[in-house]
Structure 1
């Protein structure tokens, strides 16, 4: 089967499963809504902030506060796109129709990544502009140095979260096992490793810790990472590529 046919087939599969469509919508709503709320609260609390907090205040990054929760929906989307076929047994039919497993995986990942990128970019720009509206006189402009990079980076960050999750789900095949590993990894293990002084140097190279740097415009006062915003995103790309390679290798070697 030609690659174009595989891509059309995967597009039909994804849009016909309501759960995958809903998770993308949820990622947008949660990220934007929480970002707006935190931006509004930050504006109200400005007069109570210390001098140090005001100096390091990053209005752009504040509007992305909802990303930490919105990425949960992106993780679920990435897992469901891949593992739905395994849980229903439809993967056998798909692989019978597309025996070239590399083509099968490429078509699925390409369509899902394109969808995640579109939703991620819309989410990032909406979160920024609505968040800045809530910040009043403390807002940033899209033309300020580093701001456009951060906004575009926010969309790329959410996309890469989904891609990394797809790679992990391809390796593990089970939706419950994939979510059972990814959720604690991003919401517990990464946070602990990134905030404990003994493990901070390790934590800063985890995908979410490194990738989120691209959304920052004002460096934190205690920031000592050995890479910049694009360097952090590059580290996240390497994680996503490694997960996809692992998924491809296992897909080639084992039975459906």
Structure 2
């Protein structure tokens, strides 16, 4: 068995043997699907009270992903815990002693985590869509409608990239408390505030969450954005790449 294969097996064991990391994925599923279902059901019940403008711009696909704003916090937590767990317990010293090639260690850890998150994220995205559309009744969209499949697949990619970005930043910070203190308020509060203020709105649209979420829209309500659905994912990928490169730089140069 090659070194990479052994490290991959080791990283899989680390992730699956820690309950807290797995529970964050379960939480992401329950919160996202549950909140999306609640909002879709409420929207259908209140349809007659919507204005003509709201009905004309109504996006049944996007509203079925309403829970992702909160569910993504669980994905962020997963990314933070996967990396910071070794630093908080001191296991990182043993890991680096066993795998002195730090790049190999990081690539294997990221690969295992991303594959696991990708599967869960796709389940979350598809489940949110199916449950949400069922509750929207006659206002629902079909998976075969133009742009809908792209939005569902994009929703899974968005959640995956959120976890990956969190992993990269946590490699830089190496502290779960510091990572949570920066990531949670930023994506839950700061990004929304910046996006709602006219002076910072144009800058905020290039933040990873706001750019990436564009892929889940079928009826574009953000016409002032100079990029489309996949352009938003590309911007998010640049943020993720920057976080991972920075994380590798810190892992390579700092002691455990």
TM-score, with structure 2 as normaliser: 0.99
Q: 5 Å matches for 1:96-245?
A: 96-220=97-221, 223-245=223-245
Provide the residue aligned with 1:247 in structure 2: 247
Looking at structure 1, the residues matched to 215 and 131 of structure 2 have their Cα atoms a distance apart, in angstroms, of: 19
The count of corresponding residues between Structure 1 and Structure 2 is 255
Looking at structure 1, the residues matched to 139 and 212 of structure 2 have their Cα atoms a distance apart, in angstroms, of: 25
Looking at structure 2, the residues matched to 254 and 169 of structure 1 have their Cα atoms a distance apart, in angstroms, of: 14
Looking at structure 2, the residues matched to 219 and 52 of structure 1 have their Cα atoms a distance apart, in angstroms, of: 14
Report deviation, 1:192.
1.0
Provide the residue aligned with 1:77 in structure 2: 78
For structure 2, list consecutive stretches of 5 or more residues without a partner in the other structure: none
Q: 5 Å matches for 1:39-78?
A: 39-78=40-79
Looking at structure 2, the residues matched to 195 and 5 of structure 1 have their Cα atoms a distance apart, in angstroms, of: 48
For structure 1, list consecutive stretches of 5 or more residues without a partner in the other structure: none
Looking at structure 1, the residues matched to 220 and 57 of structure 2 have their Cα atoms a distance apart, in angstroms, of: 7
Looking at structure 2, the residues matched to 109 and 194 of structure 1 have their Cα atoms a distance apart, in angstroms, of: 30
Provide the residue aligned with 2:31 in structure 1: 30
Report deviation, 1:12.
0.1
Report deviation, 1:224.
0.6
Looking at structure 2, the residues matched to 254 and 25 of structure 1 have their Cα atoms a distance apart, in angstroms, of: 34
Looking at structure 2, the residues matched to 45 and 122 of structure 1 have their Cα atoms a distance apart, in angstroms, of: 28
Q: Secondary structure at the match of 2:206?
A: coil
Report deviation, 1:184.
1.1
RMSD over equivalenced CA pairs, Å? 0.7
TM-score, with structure 1 as normaliser: 0.99
Cα-to-partner distance string for 1:200-223 (whole Å, 9 max, x where unaligned) = 010000000000000000011x53
Cα-to-partner distance string for 1:141-197 (whole Å, 9 max, x where unaligned) = 000000000000000000000000000000000000000000111011111111110
Q: Secondary structure at the match of 1:225?
A: coil
The list of structure 1 runs, each at least 4 consecutive aligned residues, that deviate by more than 6 angstroms after superposition, is: none
Looking at structure 1, the residues matched to 23 and 223 of structure 2 have their Cα atoms a distance apart, in angstroms, of: 37
Q: Secondary structure at the match of 2:218?
A: coil
Provide the residue aligned with 1:2 in structure 2: 3
Looking at structure 2, the residues matched to 7 and 193 of structure 1 have their Cα atoms a distance apart, in angstroms, of: 40
